[in-house]
C-alpha cells in the first residue's frame, strides 16, 4: 500500500509539473502578444472613432431638429449616436456584438441609405480588417513564442517524449515515409543495407566517404537520387549534419578498414611452414585508425543522431568484444590498434547516451562476414560471445543488413545488444526473422561489465 501511495504521489508531481509547464507556455505567449495586441487595438480604435464621428456628425441635424421627426424617433437615434461615448459603444457593438439594432434604428427612422453604409462597413471592417488583424496577431504571437529558446526547447522535448517510436510522413496509401540514414553506405554491408531499405519502401539517405563510393551507389541503385547521397567524413562532426537532419533512424555501418601489408605474407607463410606462429601486418585505409574511426567517428555520429532527434540507432559491430586478447585487437601497428576495444567503447557511449534521452539503440555484433546470399544460412543470436564456442563463425553480410532493417520495426530489438552469427541449429532469416530469433533468445542483452573498455 505504501509503495502504491508513493507511486501515486510521484505521478501527481509529474502531472503537476506538466500542467505548470503548459501554463507557463500560455503566459509567455500572452505576454509576448501584448505589443501586437496594443497596436491592433489602436488601429481598431482609430477606425471605430473615425466611423463613429462621421456617422454622429451626419445625424446631428436629425437629432437636434424637431422639424425632422417626432421626439420619440429622434430619442431612439440619440440613444445610439447622441454622444461621443454612446457612438463609440455602438460602433463596438456593430463590430463585436449585434449590429442589426444599431443599423435598423437608422433605416427605420432616418434613411434607408444607411443600410448601404452598414453593409460596406461590416464587409470592410468586420470581415477584411478584423481578419487581417487576427491573422497578424496570431502570426506575430507564434513568431515571438517560437523565437523563445526555452519554449522551443520545451516543445521539442515534449514532442520527443510524446512521439511514439514510429515514423514521420506518409509515403502512400498504406506505408509511412521512414527516413533512414545509412552511414558507411559505400561499405560492403552498408551498401546492402541501402538496398534492403529501398526494397522495403524506406526513404534512404546514404552517407559515404568518397565521391567514388557515391558513383558506385548511384550506378547500383537507380531508385536512390544523387541528392540523397552525402559525401562526409565521420571524423568531422559538422559534415554529418545534413545527412542526419530529419531522419527517424540511423544505421551505422562505418568502420576502420584494415589493409593487409602484402609484404607481411611472406614471413608469415615461412613461419607457418616451420610450424611457428607468424603475424600478418595491417595498416588502415586512408590512415583511418580505429581510435579515430571506431571511437571518435562513431561518437560523432551518435551525438549528431541525438542532436537531430533521431529515434533509433542501429549499429553494426563485431563479436569478440568480451575478449581482451581478440585477434582483431592485435592487428595494426605494434601490439595492435585495439579495434574491438574502441568499438566497444563507442557502444558503451551509445548506450549511455540513449539512457539520457529517448533515443533507442540496437547493437548487432556480427560474426565473420561473408558475401554469400542472405536468407539461407542458419542464424542464431546470443550474448557475450557465448556463440564463439563454435569455431569459424561466419554470417553473410546480407543477413546482417536484413537484420539491421528489421530492427527498425521490431520492439524487441530496441535497447538491445546481441551477437549474430550462423551456426548449426539456427534458422534462416526470413521476413520476420529477427523478431523470432529475439523471442527465442529471451530477455537478455550483452553485459558491458565484461571486459569493460577504459
Ligand atoms: N569484415 C568482417 O569480417 C567483419 C566481421 C564482424 C563485424 N564486422 C563489422 O561489420 C561492419 C561492416 O563491415 P564491412 O566489412 O561491411 O565494412 P567495410 O566494407 O569495411 O565498410 C566500412 C565503411 O566505413 C567507411 N568509413 C571508414 N572511415 C570513414 C570515415 N572517416 N568517414 C566516413 N566513412 C568511413 C568506409 O568508407 P571508405 O572505404 O570509403 O573509407 C567503408 O565504406 C563493421 O563495423 C565491421 O567492423 C566486420
Per-residue pLDDT tens over the stretch 296-309:
999 999 999 999 99
Q: Assess if residue 44 is contained within a domain.
A: yes
Q: Assess if residue 9 is contained within a domain.
A: no
Residue 358 or residue 220, greater confidence: 220
CA distance 334 to 346: 23
Confidence check: pLDDT of 176 > 70: no
Of the residues 143, 160, 177, which one is the last residue of a structural domain? 160
Model pLDDT for residues 77-91, shown as the tens digit of each residue: 999 998 999 999 999
Model pLDDT for residues 398-408, shown as the tens digit of each residue: 999 999 999 99
Residues 223, 77 share a domain: no
- Cα of 186 vs centre of ligand 1, distance in Å, is 8
- Cα of 123 vs centre of ligand 1, distance in Å, is 68
Q: Assess if residue 17 is contained within a domain.
A: no
Residue 309 or residue 69, greater confidence: 309
CA angle (430 as vertex; 390, 190 as ends), nearest 5? 75
Average pLDDT in the 266-283 region?
Answer: 84
Q: What percent of the chain has pLDDT over 90?
A: 53
Q: What is the position in ligand 1's atom list of the atom closest to the CA of 190?
A: 16
Q: What is the position in ligand 1's atom list of the atom closest to the CA of 186?
A: 43
> So what's the pLDDT on residue 388?
83
Three-class SS state of 231: strand
Taking CA atoms only, the protein residue closest to ligand 1 atom 32 is 233
Residues 210, 139 share a domain: no
Q: Assess if residue 11 is contained within a domain.
A: no
Average pLDDT in the 257-276 region?
Answer: 86
Model pLDDT for residues 441-453, shown as the tens digit of each residue: 999 999 999 999 9
What are the helix (H) ranges across 249-297? 265-273, 290
Q: Is any ligand 1 atom within 6 A of the Cβ of residue 212?
A: no
Model pLDDT for residues 1-49, shown as the tens digit of each residue: 555 554 445 444 444 445 566 677 677 778 877 887 888 888 888 988 9
Q: Assess if residue 73 is contained within a domain.
A: yes
Residues 267, 129 share a domain: no
Confidence check: pLDDT of 262 > 50: yes
Q: Assess if residue 452 is contained within a domain.
A: no
> So what's the pLDDT on residue 30?
80
In whole angstroms, how far apart are CA 242 and each of 215, 247, 270, 314, 317? 19, 10, 50, 19, 24
Taking CA atoms only, the protein residue closest to ligand 1 atom 37 is 209
Model pLDDT for residues 356-387, shown as the tens digit of each residue: 988 999 999 999 999 999 999 999 999 999 99
- 310 and 354 in contact (C-beta within 8 Å)? no
Q: Is any ligand 1 atom within 6 A of the Cβ of residue 301?
A: no
Q: What are phi and psi of 429, to 5 degrees?
A: -80, 100
Q: Is any ligand 1 atom within 6 A of the Cβ of residue 300?
A: no
- 95 and 17 in contact (C-beta within 8 Å)? no
The pLDDT-based confidence of 271 (bands split at 50, 70, 90) is confident
Taking CA atoms only, the protein residue closest to ligand 1 atom 43 is 187
Name the average pLDDT for the chain: 86
Number of domains in the chain: 2
What are the helix (H) ranges across 82-228? 84-96, 99-109, 113-121, 130-147, 149-162, 190-199, 211-220
> So what's the pLDDT on residue 335?
81
Q: What is the position in ligand 1's atom list of the atom closest to the CA of 367?
A: 6
Q: What is the CATH number of the domain that holds 393?
A: 3.40.50.720
> So what's the pLDDT on residue 391?
67
Model pLDDT for residues 97-142, shown as the tens digit of each residue: 888 999 998 999 888 888 898 898 888 888 888 888 888 778 777 7
Q: Is any ligand 1 atom within 6 A of the Cβ of residue 254?
A: yes
Residues 113, 173 share a domain: no
Site to probe by mutation for ligand 1, drawn from 181, 183, 185, 187 as the one with most ligand atoms within 8 Å of Cβ, is: 187
Confidence check: pLDDT of 264 > 90: no
Of the residues 110, 142, 160, which one is the last residue of a structural domain? 160
Residues 216, 257 share a domain: yes
Residues 245, 109 share a domain: no
Domain that residue 181 falls in: 168-441
Q: Is any ligand 1 atom within 6 A of the Cβ of residue 54?
A: no
- Cα of 402 vs centre of ligand 1, distance in Å, is 17
Three-class SS state of 182: strand
Q: Is any ligand 1 atom within 6 A of the Cβ of residue 253?
A: yes
- Cα of 298 vs centre of ligand 1, distance in Å, is 11
CA angle (454 as vertex; 279, 256 as ends), nearest 5? 50
Residues 81, 46 share a domain: yes
Residues 59, 207 share a domain: no
DSSP state letters, 50-107? HHHHHHHHHHHHHHH-TTTS-HHHHHHHHHHHSSHHHHHHHHHHHHHS-HHHHHHHHH
Q: Assess if residue 409 is contained within a domain.
A: yes
Residues 315, 273 share a domain: yes
CA distance 235 to 298: 8
Lowest mean pLDDT, pick from 189-198, 270-279, 345-354, 369-378: 270-279
Q: In Å, how far from its chain's centre is CA 223?
A: 24
Of the residues 160, 188, 218, which one is the last residue of a structural domain? 160
Residue 447 is placed in which grid cell? 553485459
Residues 179, 271 share a domain: yes
> So what's the pLDDT on residue 4?
52
> So what's the pLDDT on residue 10?
45
Residue 250 or residue 147, greater confidence: 250
> So what's the pLDDT on residue 7?
47
Angle subtended by helix axes 149-162 and 130-147, to nearest 10:
80
Q: Is any ligand 1 atom within 6 A of the Cβ of residue 179?
A: no
Confidence check: pLDDT of 392 > 80: no
Q: Is any ligand 1 atom within 6 A of the Cβ of residue 290?
A: no
Q: Is any ligand 1 atom within 6 A of the Cβ of residue 365?
A: no
Residues 361, 238 share a domain: yes
Q: Is any ligand 1 atom within 6 A of the Cβ of residue 366?
A: yes
Q: What is the position in ligand 1's atom list of the atom closest to the CA of 210?
A: 40
Q: Is any ligand 1 atom within 6 A of the Cβ of residue 353?
A: no
Residues 135, 42 share a domain: yes
> So what's the pLDDT on residue 20?
64
- Cα of 190 vs centre of ligand 1, distance in Å, is 8
- Cα of 256 vs centre of ligand 1, distance in Å, is 6
Torsion of CA 239, 240, 246, 252, to 10 degrees: 170
CA distance 449 to 212: 40
Q: Assess if residue 363 is contained within a domain.
A: yes
Three-state SS across 341-357?
HHHHHHHHHHHHHHHHC
Amino acid at each position: 500500500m505504501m509503495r502504491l501511495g508513493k507511486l501515486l504521489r510521484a505521478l501527481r508531481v509529474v502531472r503537476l509539473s506538466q500542467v505548470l509547464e503548459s501554463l507557463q507556455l500560455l503566459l509567455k505567449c500572452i505576454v509576448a502578444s501584448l505589443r501586437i495586441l496594443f497596436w491592433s487595438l489602436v488601429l481598431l480604435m482609430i477606425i471605430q472613432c473615425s466611423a463613429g464621428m462621421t456617422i454622429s456628425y451626419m445625424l446631428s441635424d436629425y437629432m437636434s431638429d424637431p422639424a425632422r421627426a417626432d421626439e420619440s424617433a429622434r430619442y431612439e437615434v440619440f440613444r445610439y449616436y447622441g454622444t461621443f461615448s454612446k457612438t463609440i459603444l455602438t460602433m463596438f457593438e456593430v463590430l463585436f456584438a449585434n449590429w442589426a439594432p444599431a443599423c435598423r434604428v437608422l433605416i427605420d427612422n432616418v434613411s434607408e441609405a444607411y443600410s448601404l453604409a452598414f453593409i460596406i462597413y461590416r464587409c470592410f471592417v468586420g470581415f477584411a480588417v478584423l481578419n487581417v488583424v487576427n491573422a497578424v496577431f496570431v502570426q506575430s504571437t507564434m513568431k515571438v513564442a517560437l523565437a523563445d529558446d526555452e519554449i522551443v526547447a520545451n516543445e521539442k522535448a515534449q514532442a520527443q517524449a510524446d512521439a511514439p517510436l514510429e515514423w514521420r510522413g506518409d509515403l502512400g496509401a498504406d506505408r509511412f515515409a521512414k527516413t533512414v540514414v545509412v552511414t558507411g553506405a559505400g561499405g560492403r554491408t552498408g551498401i546492402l543495407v541501402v538496398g534492403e531499405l529501398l526494397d522495403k519502401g524506406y526513404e534512404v539517405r546514404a552517407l559515404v566517404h568518397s565521391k567514388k563510393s557515391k558513383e558506385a551507389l548511384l550506378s547500383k541503385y537507380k531508385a536512390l537520387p544523387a541528392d540523397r547521397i552525402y559525401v562526409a567524413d565521420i571524423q568531422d562532426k559538422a559534415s554529418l549534419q545534413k545527412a542526419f537532419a530529419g531522419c527517424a533512424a540511423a544505421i551505422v555501418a562505418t568502420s576502420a578498414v584494415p589493409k593487409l601489408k602484402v609484404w607481411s605474407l611472406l614471413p608469415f607463410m615461412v613461419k607457418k611452414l616451420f610450424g611457428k606462429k607468424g603475424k600478418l601486418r595491417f595498416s588502415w585505409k586512408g590512415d583511418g585508425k580505429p581510435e579515430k574511426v571506431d571511437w571518435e567517428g562513431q561518437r560523432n555520429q551518435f551525438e549528431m543522431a541525438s542532436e537531430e532527434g533521431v529515434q533509433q540507432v542501429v549499429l553494426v559491430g563485431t563479436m569478440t568484444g568480451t575478449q581482451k586478447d581478440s585477434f582483431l585487437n592485435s592487428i595494426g601497428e605494434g601490439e595492435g590498434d585495439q579495434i574491438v576495444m574502441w568499438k566497444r567503447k563507442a557502444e558503451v557511449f551509445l548506450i549511455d547516451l540513449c539512457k539520457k534521452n529517448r533515443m533507442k539503440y540496437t547493437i548487432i555484433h556480427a560474426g565473420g562476414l561473408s558475401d554469400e546470399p542472405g536468407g539461407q544460412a542458419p542464424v542464431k543470436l546470443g550474448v557475450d560471445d557465448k556463440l564463439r564456442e563454435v569455431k569459424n563463425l561466419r554470417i553473410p553480410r546480407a543477413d546482417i543488413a536484413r537484420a539491421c532493417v528489421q530492427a527498425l520495426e521490431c520492439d524487441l530489438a530496441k535497447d538491445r545488444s546481441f551477437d549474430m552469427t550462423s551456426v548449426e541449429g539456427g534458422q534462416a532469416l526470413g521476413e520476420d526473422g529477427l523478431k523470432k530469433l529475439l523471442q527465442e533468445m529471451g530477455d537478455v542483452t550483452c553485459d558491458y561489465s565484461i571486459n569493460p573498455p577504459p
